[in-house]
Amino acid sequence: MILSAARICKVRHAATAFDGVGALLEPGRWNSIGRRMVYTSECPALALLEIMVHADYEIMHSYALFPLTFDDTLVEVVDPAALPPGWKFMLEPAWAPLQHIGTDWLESLRTPILRVPTVLVPDQYNYLLNPTHSDFAKISIGPQQNLVPDPRLRNAP
């Protein structure tokens, strides 16, 4: 089955949106520093929401959207029930147990994609990509699109 995902990044980083250097330099919920990883979401709306929790609306016009498609055989799934209690409420630096999951997956080279639950919306998922995996090229990355957020989001609480 073909799955889809979306990545949103700053326009100035669009040329390198899938090299994983951002995660290499900065730790995240699922990656420790020094590990290449690319964060994507299962749909553009979730990708936008993931960006909005970190960015001010006024700069949203400086972001680009990339659609992706891939076969589900490229995906390993993290069972939310197997995650540590309270994982959604862990704040940095308490991410270590989740970073360990991401690091183990990266080092195993089992798949180029890991599906993980998102904190923001129940029963929605993000896809983590391993840009160093030999099957990474099997992920189809669509053309860059300008992100044009609805002006009503300016007043979102």
Give the pLDDT score at 57. Answer: 66
- Range 46-61 average pLDDT: 80
Q: What proportion of the chain, given as a percentage, has pLDDT over 70?
A: 95
Q: What is the pTM of this model?
A: 0.92
Question: Domains (ranges, CATH) in the chain?
Answer: 2-155 (3.90.175)
Residue 71 has pLDDT above 60, yes or no: yes
Residue 156 has pLDDT above 70, yes or no: no
- Range 90-105 average pLDDT: 90
Of residues 77 and 86, more confidently modeled: 77
Strand runs (DSSP E) across 43-90, as ranges? 63-71, 75-77
Percent composition of the chain: helix, strand, coil (DSSP 3-state, to 5): 35, 25, 40
Handedness of CA 149, 152, 155, 157 (dihedral sign): negative
**Phi and psi for 117 in degrees, rounded to 5?**
-70, 150
Q: Count CB neighbours of 100 within 10 A.
A: 13
